[in-house]
Amino acid sequence: GWYGFNPGSTLQMHSVGAANTAALVAVNTTLAPCCAALVVFAARALVFEPRRLDVGAMCNGILAGLVSITGPCGFVRPFEAIIIGLLGGCVYQLASMAMQRARFDDVVDAFAVHGACGLWGLVAAGLFGDPKEGLGGNGFFYSGNQLQTQMFAALLIILWVGGLSIIAFFILRRVGLLRLGDDIQEAGADVAEHLPKRAYSFLEQNEVKPFHASELA
C-alpha cells in the first residue's frame, strides 16, 4: 500500500524525469522502514528490558520508518532516507516508552507510530534535501529555509488535531464510550464485539497435526 501511496503521489510516469522521481521515492520508501525496524528490533533485544526478540515491535518499527519518510520521500537522497529511518526508529522507541510510563491506554502504539514519527517526518522535510540536487528539497542542513515552514505547519497541526481530539474525547468520556470496560478488555474485544467463531473457525476445522519426518518419504 505504501508503495502505491508514496510513488503514486508523483501522479505521473510519462517522462524520464517523472519515472526517476517515482523510482527515488520507492527506494526511499524501502530504505527508511528497513532501518527503523532494525533499530527497534535491536533496541528491544539488546538495550531495553525485558530484552526479548520482539517481532511485533519490529513491525511497528517498519511502520514508524514508513511514516517518517512519507513527508520528505521525494526530496531527499537515499542516504538521507537511511538517516531519517534510523532516527525514526529511535523516535518510535522513545515515544512508546514515554506513553507506557505516562500510563496512556495505547495498546497498538498508534501515537508512537503515527503521531511522534509523523511529527519527525514533518520536521525531517525541513532538515534534509539539498537544493542543488534539483529534487525540490530546501533543507536546513544545506542552508535552506524550509524548516521554518515545517515547524509552523507542525504547530498548526498539533493545535488543530489536539483541540478537536480533546473535544471528541471529552464527549465520548461523558457518555461512557471512550474505552471498553475492564471485563471486555480482559476477555478480548473479539469475544465481546466481533465474530470469533467466523474468524477463527478455519483453524478449528483445519487443525494442524504433528507428523514424523518419516512420513515425508
> Do 76 and 97 contact (CB within 8 A), yes or no?
no
**Spatial contact of 99 and 48, defined as CB atoms under 8 Å apart:** no
Would you place residue 82 in the very low, low, confident or very high pLDDT band (cuts 50, 70, 90)? very high
Whether the predicted pLDDT of 202 surpasses 60? no
Q: How confident is the model at residue 199 (pLDDT cuts 50, 70, 90)?
A: low
* pLDDT band with cut points at 50, 70 and 90 for residue 204: low
pLDDT band at 94 (very low <50, low <70, confident <90, very high): very high
Q: What is the pLDDT averaged over residues 206-211? A: 51
pLDDT at 96: 97
Q: What is the pTM of this model?
A: 0.83
Reported as a single tens digit per residue, the pLDDT across 41-57 is 999 999 999 899 999 99
176: left (phi over 0), alpha (psi -120 to 50) or beta: left
Residue keyed to cell 535552506: 144
Band (pLDDT 50/70/90 cuts) for residue 185 is confident
What percentage of the chain has pLDDT greater than the value 70?
Answer: 89
CB 112 within 8 A of CB 92: yes
What would the mean pLDDT of 163-175 be, rounded to a whole number? Answer: 96
The pLDDT of residue 159 is 97
Q: Give the DSSP letter string of the chain.
A: -HHHHTGGGG---SSHHHHHHHHHHHHHHHHHHHHHHHHHHHIIIIISTT----HHHHHHHHHHHHHHHHTTTTTS-HHHHHHHHHHHHHHHHHHHHHHHHTT---TT-HIIIIIIHHHHHHHHHHH---GGGTSS---GGGT-SHHHHHHHHHHHHHHHHHHHHHHHHHHHHHTT-SS--HHHHHH-HHHHHS-HHHHHHHHHHTPPPP--GGGG-
Confidence of residue 179 (pLDDT cuts 50, 70, 90): confident
The answer, yes or no, to whether residue 20 has pLDDT greater than 50, is: yes
Q: What is the CA radius of gyration of the chain?
A: 22
Torsion over CA: 99, 100, 101, 102 (sign):
positive
CA 39 to chain centre: 13
